[in-house]
Structures are given as C-alpha cells and as structure tokens.
Amino acid sequence: MIDKKSPLPLYYQVEEHIKQTIQSEELQPGDALPSERELSENFQISRMTVRQAITNLVNQGFLFREKGRGTFVSNQKFEQNLQGLTSFTEDMKARQLVPGTKLLHFEIFPVEKDIQERLSLGEGELIYKIKRLRLANEEPIALETSYLPVKLIPGLTPDILEKSLYSYIEDELQLKIGHATQTVEAALISDEDSKQLQVKKGVPVLLIQRETFLENGTPLELVRSSYRADKYKFKIDIERK
Ligand code: 16G
C-alpha cells in the first residue's frame, strides 16, 4: 500500500491509493473520506502528508471539502480530450468502458434548405436523420442527433447504428474521415430529451455541435449532441507559444 522505501513521495502514494479506492468504487460519489487523523494512523505517516494528498485530489476534482463536515468523493466525470477526432465508441473503449447505443429515431427524407447548404447537397437529395442515446457501462451519457447524406453512406441500417457509425464508414465503406469543426456550449435540456437521457427536467447539459468532413473535403455529417454535464467534461491540452 504505502511503501516508505519507495522513491515515490509519500503524499503521491496516498493520492494514488485514494484514487484507486474511488476507481474501484470502494468509495462512491458522496461518500465521506476517513478523517486526516484516521488516514495518518492507517498509513503511519504524518497528518501534513495526508493533508497534501487530499488537497491535491481536491484540486484535481476527485474530492471536495465541506466546511465543518469533512471531505467527500466528487461525482466522477468522463473526460474527453478535445484534440482528436474520435467516435463515441472509441472514446468509451479508451476508458475501458463498454459503449452502448439505443437507436431512438431513424429516417430518410429529402434535405431541407438550411441543412442542404451545410452538407453541400442538391435540392431534394436524401439524408438520414438519426437520433441515438449513447451509454457508457449501460448508463445514459449523451443524446445525439445526426444528419448524413444517403449518397455518401449507402446501406446504413439500424443494426449498424447500434454499433459504430464511424467504423462502418471507415472499415466497410473505406472512406477516410478527415476533420471536423466542433463547438461546445452550455444549455438546458429540453423536456423531451430529459426523459430519454433519464435526467431531471431543465438540468444543464453540454451542447456539442460537430460538422465532419471526409479527407477530400466533402461534408459528411452534422451532429448535435447533449452530454450530461454532471457526467462529462472536456479536456484540452494547451501550449504556450
Ligand atoms: C461522436 C461524435 C459524432 C459521431 C459519433 C460516431 C462528438 C461530439 N460526436 O459521438 O459526431 O457521429 O461519435 O460514433 O464527439 P460511433 O462511431 O460510436 O457511432
């Protein structure tokens, strides 16, 4: 557990130990952490070292303090790095979570004016409208509404959409997804979406809009997703130029 002979600093070992108990769900969101005194006795280390480890975990968002009450485990959020153009399935697998999808709506219809321009389509060309509930370890995480040109992605079926759209596009159709532009903003969930995402009416969500293009520049998809703000956070690595 804590190895005093290890070159790793003691506060760091305590931090890692507490993180592990959170990740293994031994300690759950909302649970109180044992007191500094108990931890220092258990680990046979000074209270100052314990305090340093706890402060670091508070700063990293794993724990939060409440005046006069103690230290508690925060609601853990899924973290998505904003640097790569990844699919939901890839994101979940990278975190050792089991991706899941429930198809809520699947329709083919002639494109309307506003979407026609953004997908560079001719008048009346056919598009798919797809609405999917995305899950991680069976827990609803996001609602996703996508529009894609039928002529680019022939043969799309509900079966494929319950798995991975991107792997169908790349592995089956051998198309190369190139780049996307994406915006993230705060929003309140609509009443209909709150039922599907299984959250209370009007809770905050992260609204993400993505326009994805093939490598040759052809518009591939328009996607509007609502991610649960209590479960998801986006990470971006930034460099000072
Ligand atoms: C992600 C993408 C979405 C894409 C989907 C494909 C965001 C905001 N959106 O959810 O644009 O259609 O992945 O996922 O990241 P799939 O291959 O698992 O079906």
Per-residue pLDDT of 60-75, as tens digits, reads 778 888 888 999 998 7
Ligand 1 atom closest to the CA of 166, numbered from 1 = 17
Confidence of residue 32 (pLDDT cuts 50, 70, 90): very high
pLDDT for position 94: 80
Ligand 1 atom closest to the CA of 134, numbered from 1 = 10
**165 ligand 1 Cβ < 6 A:** yes
Q: Which of 90, 96, 74 has its CA nearest to residue 231?
A: 74
How would DSSP label each residue in 172-184? IS---EEEEEEEE
Per-domain boundaries in the chain: 10-73, 78-235
**CATH code for 78-235?**
3.40.1410.10
pLDDT for position 72: 94
**91 ligand 1 Cβ < 6 A:** no
**208 ligand 1 Cβ < 6 A:** yes
Q: How far is the CA of 233 from the centre of ligand 1 (A)?
A: 16
Domains 10-73 and 78-235 are alike in CATH topology: no
Per-residue pLDDT of 39-64, as tens digits, reads 999 999 999 999 999 998 887 778 88
**210 ligand 1 Cβ < 6 A:** yes
pLDDT for position 145: 97
Ligand 1 atom closest to the CA of 142, numbered from 1 = 10
Per-residue pLDDT of 62-110, as tens digits, reads 888 888 899 999 877 777 777 789 999 998 888 778 999 999 999 999 9
**88 ligand 1 Cβ < 6 A:** yes
Q: How far apart are CA 31 and CA 22, in angstroms?
A: 10
Q: How many CB atoms lie within 10 A of CB 54?
A: 21
pTM, full prediction: 0.75
Fold (topology level) of 10-73: Arc Repressor Mutant, subunit A (1.10.10)
Per-residue pLDDT of 162-210, as tens digits, reads 999 999 999 999 999 999 999 999 999 999 999 999 999 999 999 999 9
